[in-house]
Amino acid sequence: MCPICSATKVENTHDEQCAACNGIDYLLATLEALVKVSCHEAERDSRLLANVEWAEAMLADAKESLQRYDAHLIQDHAQESFAGWSLDNMTSSGVSTLDDYYAKQGARHFNTGCCEEGKADKSTSILGRCVVYKNPAVATRAQHSNTDWGCYPEPPESGGPVYCREAFRLLSDSSSQNSSDTAQTRLTADDIFFKNRLFLRFQDLQQDGASNFHSTDPIMYNMKNEYVRCVVTTIAGMGKGKVDGDNGGCQPKWERYLNTENDLTCAAEFRTPLDQDRVTGKVNTIIEPGQGGAMTDSEKKKREVIPYAKDMKVR
Q: Mind listing the pLDDT tens digit for each residue in 188-242? A: 999 999 999 999 999 998 888 787 887 777 777 788 889 998 888 887 667 777 8
Over range 107-132, report the average pLDDT: 75
Residue 215: DSSP 8-state: S
Average pLDDT, the chain: 81
Instruction: Report pLDDT for 217.
Output: 72
User: Angle at Cα 151 formed by Cα 130 and Cα 190, nearest 5°?
Assistant: 40
Over range 9-18, report the average pLDDT: 48
Instruction: Report pLDDT for 170.
Output: 94
Rounded to whole angstroms, the Cα distance separating 146 from 242 reads: 31
User: Left, alpha or beta for 12 (phi > 0: left; psi -120 to 50: alpha)?
Assistant: left
User: Angle at Cα 213 formed by Cα 208 and Cα 216, nearest 5°?
Assistant: 130
Instruction: Report pLDDT for 184.
Output: 87
Other CB atoms within 10 Å distance of the CB of residue 177: 20
| Residues present in the chain in total | 315
Instruction: State the pTM of this model.
Output: 0.71
Between residues 79 and 229, the one the model is more confident about:
229
Over range 76-101, report the average pLDDT: 83
Rounded to whole angstroms, the Cα distance separating 225 from 231 reads: 11
Whether 133 has a pLDDT exceeding 80, the answer reads yes
pLDDT band at 295 (very low <50, low <70, confident <90, very high): low
- Reported as a single tens digit per residue, the pLDDT across 243-255 is 888 888 899 999 9
Over range 294-313, report the average pLDDT: 69
With a CB cutoff of 8 Å and minimum separation 6, the contacts of 149 are 136, 141
User: Left, alpha or beta for 304 (phi > 0: left; psi -120 to 50: alpha)?
Assistant: beta
Cα–Cα nearest to 147, from 157, 138, 156: 138
- Reported as a single tens digit per residue, the pLDDT across 31-71 is 788 777 787 777 777 777 777 787 888 888 887 877 777 77
Over range 7-36, report the average pLDDT: 62
